Amino acid sequence: MADTKINTGSTEPIVEHTVEAKEVTVDGEAKVPTPYTEYTAETGQPFVADHYKLGENWEVFAGEIAVIDEYMDGLISSGKIANTTKAVDEVLEQMEKVTNIKDEDRSVVRIETVKAHIDFLNKTDKIYSDFGKYGNN
């Protein structure tokens, strides 16, 4: 008889679970990221201003930032995205990709285009809302 070996071990793949570690400060407290809705109160300027690297001149774009903030707050309050700066960053990057400005270096063009895209989204949402209100006649 020939020597045959039968493998009776498990064939399930090994899945490693990783836990994201929080950065610990010198005083022993974990550094927790600031929620998007509290970012302005904690840092003194909106997250959108930091995302587009507007620096201290962000107030020039206060109107555009207000529109973007209002839209992001709506996404957060409706539960479509998490209340994190990372989630908002991902939405902004997705909008930049859709509007074909991802590689644009000028912050002015990027923020104006994203604001215009949000205006478009708000108008189309209103059309759908009105359509539901008044029926499909």
What total number of domains does the chain contain?
1
In a domain, 31, yes or no: yes
In a domain, 17, yes or no: no
Find residue 31's DSSP bridge partners: 23
In a domain, 118, yes or no: yes
So what's the pLDDT on residue 8? 57
Residue 137 pLDDT > 80: no
In a domain, 14, yes or no: no
In a domain, 112, yes or no: yes
Structural domain span for residue 106 = 23-134
In a domain, 58, yes or no: yes
Residue pLDDT, tens place only, 2-29 = 566 555 555 555 555 444 545 555 566 6
* Angle between helices 107-134 and 85-98 in degrees, nearest 10: 90
- pTM value surpassing 0.85: no
C-alpha angle 116-122-126 in degrees, rounded to nearest 5: 145
- Sign, CA dihedral 89-94-95-99, equals positive
